[in-house]
Structure 1
Amino acid sequence: MANHKSALKRIRGNETKRLRNRHQHKTTRNAIRKLREADKQEAETLFPTVVSMIDKLSKRNIIHNNKAANLKSRLAEHVAAL
């Protein structure tokens, strides 16, 4: 158990941030899944928003920068191949 008031506040803040990060990560994963299942026209319209979501996760260190780059690259290849 925390001994300091600031430690208790830190615990509360960490939990809030953890839930927010989890929600954003799951939302992005669902968007990626939706893009992979979409047809050509729908995929082209979804692609910029999904890339933006991935960039935001990367910027906030929710996912690693290299993972973000790999995801964007694979998705770009997928959309181009449709």
Structure 2
Amino acid sequence: MPNSASAEKSLRKANVRRERNRQQRSTLRTTVKRFRTLLGTKPSQQEADTQFSLVVKALDQAAARKLIHKNTASRVKSRLAALKKKTFVG
């Protein structure tokens, strides 16, 4: 329990930030999952490229906001690109 007014405010701020981060992280994960599911349904190349660019944008924005680490964003983008390539080449 906070012992001062400033500690109470800090706790409120931390709770608001935690909730916002949880929502944004959940949205990001959903975006990535939807792309993976889309690839499983054999979409057209153009549709896959469009969705891939949206996922990459979301990952880059999340990394810029420090929601996820930049290397994590890079790793996920790389794996999704490899999966997309495998879907259309293999």
- Asked if these proteins are the same fold (TM beyond 0.5), I'd say yes
Give % identity: 39
Question: Partners of 2:20 and 2:29 in 1: how far apart?
Answer: 14
Q: Which runs of 5+ in 2 are unaligned?
A: none
Matched, 1:75 2:80: yes
Residue in structure 1 matched with residue 2 of structure 2 by the alignment: 2
CA contact (8 A) 1:28 1:53 kept: yes
Highest Rg: 1 or 2?
A: 2
Residue in structure 2 matched with residue 63 of structure 1 by the alignment: 68
Q: Which runs of 5+ in 1 are unaligned?
A: none
Q: Deviations over 1:13-42 (max 9, x none)?
A: 111111111111111111111111212443
What's the TM-score, normalizing by structure 2? 0.80
Give secondary structure in 1 for the equivalent of 2:2. coil
Tell me how far 1:43 sits from its aligned partner.
2.1
Matched, 1:34 2:39: no
Tell me how far 1:49 sits from its aligned partner.
1.4
What's the TM-score, normalizing by structure 1? 0.86
Count of residues in Structure 1 that have an aligned counterpart in Structure 2: 82
Residue in structure 2 matched with residue 45 of structure 1 by the alignment: 50
RMSD: 1.4
